Chains A and B, each alone.
Chain A
């Protein structure tokens, strides 16, 4: 039964997530809450791992969440399911490519989807931050790196590498 749910949920993500890799996260966050396959903390781990392994983050997220919730078969199902809507849509769209982008309804739908997709991501970002407000050390490091991210543009690997190292040092040597 879990495989059916996995297929259904990841098919939905493939069909309704707009805006690239991180756009899958709000859906995964919701799935975690509904099915209990993984916790919010697990999801944070998955995001970190998906961001430092090769390949599109969306594929990595599907593979990892599938793996956590349904083993190797689960990850295969999740990864397949998330790409099937694209496959179907694009085979259809390829025949009417030029007209597609100029179409009134396509433009109107995208007009509504852009702010909505941004709202989904913002809501998860906020909830993640709120869940850590009682850890003042984490919040301090967060604010420092957030400020940095506003000032200069750095690669995801930079943030995950440095914060991972800080965590390793702090926790291994019991500094705090």
Chain B
């Protein structure tokens, strides 16, 4: 049982599955996943738009939009995929550019957003992902750009309607340059004006499927300044401004920090950050390059010390006990009961990515309750004994005292509880 292989599937991936062999060459296994992922099936933009419109008029129509079917497909991959690194890496970017079902219009479009705006670009250039996200109906809804008007635009009625700054503010602060970018409130206001007219619709003839639509009638006329640069009027001004932000050195630093915080430590070492940042700068924001750099960083192979999120833990436990398709529905419910419902982060900053977000008393107690209940079933049905489960899940990474206690547990059930709830199982 190779410690390095278990480290790779636990830290970079989503945890070992008893029915999937551990990679013989962990680095190679990781590098092989750095490729453009195959497209995922699901409702297309026309369907999402139609359902979104119908739900707006009648909130009782498909109350959860396309969420249930999209969620099952998405969680099925987390549970079963042999490419755990690809899926974890994808989830990181979904969280970086998060949308939440807590906002109207996201239940219908959320699955489409993650499948088509984020996932195809996770190993491509950040600016392509960023642009796709910012033009997607889920994001335009979530951060209120659909309600934004240039006060000087024709639809703005001489300033009666104004720009909504939500998308501009969050995108500067969270998605791109961050406060380190040194922008001021006037830059927020200006980016909001640059993005006026970025909206949702069905094209000039009303024939195309619903999707991004630039509504010139709402767009603030004239060139605008953003962080010392000038951007022209029109849709292309917005594209240029977002590309400028995506390529900004402070954005690269932000992305490097996101990656290192997720994969290395809550407070990642400066050397690792510098290497990731340098690889992003040199490659023009190529996330595949950043992933290759990450895998090669010695810091990423230090003992597991990241605390698993509620989702990480639920997924790792279900994978660990070999749950198949039948585990998808329980996983979806579990995420709700764990207070980390899928695609429903409480705020645009996304789910926390550091330990204090995941070690509150109730969070830990719910993990314990859940594996206690699971273990009753495992005691009756699971093909392995508890010590074998420890071996499969953590192998040489499990401390001697855990192996001993699990081997001496008074019953199979208590043995499984110890095997699934010992502190090492909360690490990745």
Q: Do A and B come from one complex?
A: no
B interface with A by C-beta (< 8 Å): none
A interface with B by C-beta (< 8 Å): none
